[in-house]
Amino acid sequence: MKSVELKRLKPSSPGTSRHVKILRYGTPGAAPKAYLQASLHADELPAMMAAHHLEKLLDAAEARGEILGEVVLVPVANPIGLAQIIDGSHLGRYDLASGENFNRSFPDLAALAADRVAGRLGRDAAENVRTIRAALVALLDEYQPQGELASLRQILMREAIDADYVLDLHCDNDALMHLYLGEARWPDGADLSAELGSVATLLAADSGGTPFDETFSNLWAELRRRLGGETPIPDACLAGTVEFRGQGDVSDALGAKDAAALFRFLMRRGLVAGDPGPLPEPLCDGTPLAAVDVLRAPVGGMVVYHAELGEHVRAGQVVAEIVDPLAEDPAAQRTPVETIADGLFFARKVKRLARPGQAIGKVAGAVALPTRTGALLDP
Ligand SMILES: [Zn+2]
């Protein structure tokens, strides 16, 4: 049965109140469980539109009695960010109060959970998963958040922590459909990639930024590392971040198409009854996130792109130029930006004013790049 819950955030400011709306389908506690949330970065509305359409599909499936597992959908994951309007412009991605990226710095629960379950695991992998999940749920229930953002993170994590599938729905700035997945879950997640029509499925064991999805996908490997030995601990969660193209790609047509793809994935994975039909031909293979060349503006100025999204570019190719009309030497008014990867140009910026060092585009190559060290995601 569908249920709707409004969970209140702990306010940071007296006299304010926000909540997260949580939609639950199927039987609480039924397996498998999927958790999907939209627009954690707040200004990424294509994800919200996909969730809006997915709600209709799930409502209809629920009415037909076709929800086999449990599906939790949070159609608006970030009411704090959604309200950040400054001088008429909406500013998502970063929490204005703290400067924190809304999708970074999620806590690593592995160490705490490992302490809780040490000595309590056995030879049965499924039983171990249940024991570990119970410990994780208890940890999150006991946590006392200090303010609104911490409270938001607690609510979202608490809903997702015992799910078999966690899909964090986002979008990029101006981009084609792409997907981030845990390296260990490839090629298991190839059906998700094909279903969504991802043109770049980017794999990392640990991107270095502790985004929401990795909290759940990396947890099990880390517990294995800490507790390992005789007690089997499987990778119990397939988690990923779906980038529903660019910020301007908001329409009913795209939302309905994306929702249908998510719904077929849920069907294919046994959460919803029915025949999803044949899996679409994949549009890409999984490639390392470390093989993505992040193009950066070496100087400030106007960005002009010399490649279109979807174009296959070659190492050494000038993908963009930065134009500074005030450069004293007219010959130095244009600074080329070359890619060092052979691959697909899949993301760029809508706003064409760049500051030095700013990321202005992404090329998905197949081979890890020596320049990609440290954190692999933008801050
Ligand atoms: Zn995002």
Ligand 1 center to residue 92 CA distance, Å?
A: 9
* Alpha carbons 44 and 4: distance in angstroms, whole number: 23
- Whether residue 143 is found in the same domain as residue 82: yes
Q: What is the pLDDT of residue 228?
A: 78
Q: What is the pLDDT of residue 230?
A: 86
Last residue of one domain, picked from the residues 284, 300, 317: 284
- Whether residue 177 is found in the same domain as residue 311: no
- Whether residue 166 is found in the same domain as residue 226: yes
Last residue of one domain, picked from the residues 284, 315, 335: 284
Q: What is the pLDDT of residue 298?
A: 97
Ligand 1 center to residue 317 CA distance, Å?
A: 28
Give the phi and the psi of residue 18 in degrees, each rounded to 5.
-135, 160
Residue 378 placed within a domain:
no
Ligand 1 center to residue 297 CA distance, Å?
A: 21
Domains: count for the chain? 2
Last residue of one domain, picked from the residues 240, 258, 284: 284
pLDDT digits (tens, 9 = 90+) for 12-34: 999 999 999 999 999 999 999 99
Ligand 1 center to residue 247 CA distance, Å?
A: 10
Ligand 1 center to residue 374 CA distance, Å?
A: 20
- Whether residue 294 is found in the same domain as residue 153: no
Residue 342 placed within a domain:
yes
Domain assignment of residue 260, given as a range: 3-284
Q: What is the pLDDT of residue 10?
A: 97
- Whether residue 16 is found in the same domain as residue 160: yes
Ligand 1 center to residue 93 CA distance, Å?
A: 7
Quick one: tokens of 376? Answer: 């692999």
Question: Whose structure tokens read 């412009």?
Answer: 89
Ligand 1 center to residue 275 CA distance, Å?
A: 31
- Whether residue 138 is found in the same domain as residue 192: yes
Ligand 1 center to residue 232 CA distance, Å?
A: 34
* Alpha carbons 305 and 216: distance in angstroms, whole number: 37
Q: 285, 294, 343, 346: which is closest to 315 by C-alpha?
A: 343
Residue 373 placed within a domain:
no
* Alpha carbons 118 and 137: distance in angstroms, whole number: 16
- Whether residue 245 is found in the same domain as residue 323: no
Residue 379 placed within a domain:
no
Q: What is the pLDDT of residue 74?
A: 99
The CATH number assigned to the domain holding 299 equals: 2.40.50.100
The CATH number assigned to the domain holding 178 equals: 3.40.630.10
- Whether residue 238 is found in the same domain as residue 315: no
Q: What is the pLDDT of residue 90?
A: 97
- Whether residue 197 is found in the same domain as residue 296: no
Ligand 1 center to residue 358 CA distance, Å?
A: 17
Ligand 1 center to residue 144 CA distance, Å?
A: 26
Residues of the chain short of pLDDT 50, as ranges, are none
- Whether residue 46 is found in the same domain as residue 119: yes
